[in-house]
Amino acid sequence: MECDRKDAKKLLEQQNAKIRERMSKIKHKIAILSGKGGVGKSTVTANLAVGLSLLNKKVGVLDGDIHGPNIPKILGANGEPMVAGDAILPIEVSGIKTISISYLLPDEATPVIWRGPRVSGAIRQFLADVAWGELDYLLIDTPPGTGDVQLTIMQSIPNIDGAIIVTTPDEISLLDVKKSISMCKMLNIPIIGIIENMSGFVCPYCNKEIDIFGKGAGEKIAKELGLRFLGRIPLDAKAREAQEKGKPMVLIDCRAGEAFKEIVNKIVEIVENK
């Protein structure tokens, strides 16, 4: 038993060393969080990545939502990662490097039925073994909530720049947002800001915005807690249709795309001038 513990400790130290080496080549590491599911966190992550690439930034996206990996679908990426030596080569789409458990599944309908320790192990393997190379930004799309995976990401990535928290504009979602905020504070992870997604619906007929889910709850909690409010992303039918075909909305001439571009500029200013 003592030998087993020593071997396990040695393997953990080796993996930690590999993670430090990989992450040392990445200038900025940002986790995208949400207190609950259904707020469009993966959509936000993918569009922020594309927005950063439009500014000529070298970008990578780690899809940390093992049970619901949607990043490849949103970015229009597919394929199977190649292995070179002891490294996994990420799938690249439109200049963005990506890794996701989705690439390793036989089809989109195959579920990942894993317990927490195995999920956390997969995340650490992505961090240690994926050859990201030199990047300006690595965005980590985390699953909703404040569990094992979020803790693994926050504690495994050295010098993480901080977290961006995604919410919807209704008051109920703020109950879960507060949990994500509290988790970051407990782990001493800086909060870059809050994004309010699904903030109003752009009518395709009259082009007016209708506040289906309300508006302003994200900005309200940001003010209450002394955090930055990064901006609002409206629902846009035109953008949704394009995104379902693998074209992120930031590439579309629409209000949602313009909102993302403004938010990306704010993030770059905050992160690179801190």
- The per-residue pLDDT for range 131-159, each reduced to its tens digit, is 999 999 999 999 988 888 899 999 999 99
- Considering 29-33, 143-147, 172-176, 236-240, the range whose residues carry the highest mean pLDDT is 29-33
65 phi and psi, to 5 degrees? -85, 85
* Percent of the chain topping pLDDT 90: 60
Q: Residue for token digits 């992303």? A: 233
d(CA 248, CA 63): 16
CA distance 218 to 106: 38
Domain count, the chain: 1
Beta partners for residue 96, in sequence order: 59, 93
State yes or no: pLDDT of 245 exceeds 70. yes
Spacing of C-alpha 274 from chain mean position: 21
Q: Please give the residue that has the higher pLDDT: either 155 or 7.
A: 155
pTM for this predicted structure: 0.93
Residue ranges of the binding site: 35-42
Q: How far is CA 229 from the centre of its chain?
A: 17
Asked whether the predicted pLDDT for residue 2 surpasses 60, the reply is: no
d(Cα 219, Cα 61) in Å, to the nearest integer?
Answer: 26
Taking only the tens place, the pLDDT of each residue in 95-131 is 999 999 999 998 888 999 998 889 999 999 999 999 9
* Count of beta carbons in the 10 Å neighbourhood of residue 148: 16
Q: What percentage of the chain has pLDDT greater than the value 70?
A: 97
d(C-alpha 238, C-alpha 223), whole Å: 32
pLDDT bin (cut points 50, 70, 90) of residue 35 is: confident
The pLDDT confidence band at residue 199, using thresholds 50, 70 and 90, is confident
Residue 247 has pLDDT above 90, yes or no: no
Instruction: Give the helix ranges, DSSP H, for the chain.
Output: 2-23, 41-54, 71-75, 116-129, 148-156, 171-186, 217-225, 237-244, 255-272
Cβ-Cβ contacts under 8 Å for 105 (sequence gap 6 or more): 112
CATH number of residue 194's parent domain: 3.40.50.300
Q: What average pLDDT does the segment 218-241 reach?
A: 88
Binding residues for ATP: 35-42
User: What digits encode the pLDDT tens for the residues 39-87?
Assistant: 889 999 999 999 999 999 999 999 999 999 999 999 999 889 998 888 9
Could you list the residue range(s) of the whole structural domain that residue 186 is in?
2-272
Instruction: Return the structure tokens found at 112.
Output: 């990942």
